[in-house]
Structure 1
Amino acid sequence: MRFEKIQNALDALGTAVLVNLLLAVTASPLIVIVMFTNAFETWPLAAAAAVVATPGVTAAFTVFRRSGENPFFAFFSGYRATWKRAALVGLMLVGSAAVLIVDARFFADGPFAQAAMVVLVVVGVLVAGAGVVTLTAVAESPAVRIGGALARAAWASIRRWHLTLVSLAVLAVFALLFINLPLLALSALASPALYLAWANSRHSLRPVLDIEETIAA
């Protein structure tokens, strides 16, 4: 029994390390931009690279879903099956973030700046939460229709708001570390942060989607 526990722990550690490595490969354009340029000045490139990196997230979610299988093959199988829909969700998230940033700059010096910022922050949290849950739905069922998944994910993320906030808080910490120390963030924290976000999102989806079966709509 003790040997089995040790073996399971080593298997989990090996899977985490492999997922981190594969995420670094799929997110390599973003890593290069963050490490060697000022991402705030080259933000169009950073935004495009973030979209390109999004399918790596659903591939990692696929590995978590298919625990017990070879993580290398599960990752690339998930990537191949989800990259189109994952990239579309990533494009929506990046586009929404750009609009919110532009709105924030527009209202920053206005008479209703504080109220506007509160509204924009709330909208940003809702969009980010729905996005994470939608990526989980895509990983659970690569054939899912994005429109239906977005609507149901938005409802699920609000209904289980406490899980959504925990996921976003962990991902925010990971993002801050990634901006400052991208290689360290990917090598040490990527798998734990994404696993927690996936587990919370999967639990949030249960009331609205049968995630054990293919989601057709």
Structure 2
Amino acid sequence: MNPPSRHDTITAVVDGVYTALVSNMLLVVGCLPLVALAFTTDAARAWPLYALAAPLCAPGLCGVFAVMSDYSSGRAGGVLRTFGRAWRATARPAVLWAAAASAVLVVLGVDAYALWGHRAGALTLPILAVLAVLTAATALLGLVTIAERPAARLRDVARACAYLAVRRWYLTAASLLVLALLAQLFVARPAIALGVAAAPLWYVVWSNSRYSLRAALDPPTIAAPST
């Protein structure tokens, strides 16, 4: 096999940079409700608005996941075209999925706040924290699944993603840590987070999630019969 030429290498680098920059722009556009709230409100006081706005951003995130999937597999369908097609296909299931996850997280958060400082909280708060992390991880894997299988039943998605989030716990932990890093970067340097770092960090999260979901998304290979 001939090594890649210099022209091919430069083309690959340019395509990667272009895809990353456009993906950053699409992330901002797709998550505009949350971005607007982040710049105009105090998250500690306006958290109900965040809970209501988060599901509206789910189709945009699925669209970016579809772009990352095409880029990783070498398919050249056009970044904007791929995003638009995935956004339309996933709009309803992604919003429903994210709304359910947001509702669960709100309930867990309210319960934790109510139990904070009480004797019963010493036992129940760790359980609530574990459930919140599991819900967030399942929601993330679910969006990656919906991006590739928009017609999948959400009940089946929830069952498979909850199981795989626990089974591949090390990848789940790595993805959540990357998202925490992105959140900290957004608080400190929002322009850098949104304009430069968002797409590469989300790509790491998508890669981890896609690997965790291989058993559910990739069809089993059938060995050729021996002659």
TM-score past 0.5 threshold: yes
Contact conserved, 1:15 with 1:71, CA < 8 A, in 2?
yes
Match of 2:134 among 126, 135, 139: 126
Task: Return the alpha-carbon distance in structure 1 between the equivalents of residues 206 and 107 of structure 2.
Answer: 26
The answer for the alignment partner of 1:40 in structure 2 is: 44
Match of 1:142 among 142, 147, 150: 150
The question of 1:86 aligning with 2:94 is answered yes
Q: How does 1:105-124 map to 2 (within 5 A)?
A: 105-124=113-132
Deviation at 1:40, TM superposition (A): 2.3
Match of 2:162 among 150, 154, 164: 154
Deviation at 1:44, TM superposition (A): 2.2
Contact conserved, 1:141 with 1:211, CA < 8 A, in 2?
no
Q: TM-score, with normalisation over the residues of structure 1?
A: 0.91
Superposition CA RMSD, Å: 1.7
Task: Return the alpha-carbon distance in structure 1 between the equivalents of residues 40 and 30 of structure 2.
Answer: 17
Structure 2 unmatched ranges of 5 or more: 221-227
The question of 1:52 aligning with 2:56 is answered yes
Task: Return the alpha-carbon distance in structure 2 between the equivalents of residues 172 and 131 of structure 1.
Answer: 15
Structure 1 unmatched ranges of 5 or more: 213-217
Larger deviation, residues 108-117 vs 178-187: 178-187
Contact conserved, 1:31 with 1:182, CA < 8 A, in 2?
no
Q: How many equivalent residue pairs?
A: 212
Task: Return the alpha-carbon distance in structure 2 between the equivalents of residues 145 and 183 of structure 1.
Answer: 37
Deviation at 1:80, TM superposition (A): 0.8
Contact conserved, 2:31 with 2:61, CA < 8 A, in 1?
no
Deviation at 1:114, TM superposition (A): 3.2
Contact conserved, 1:35 with 1:182, CA < 8 A, in 2?
no
Secondary structure at the aligned position of 2:152 is classed as: coil
Match of 1:7 among 8, 11, 16: 11
The question of 1:165 aligning with 2:191 is answered no
Deviation at 1:153, TM superposition (A): 0.9
Q: Max radius of gyration: which structure?
A: 2
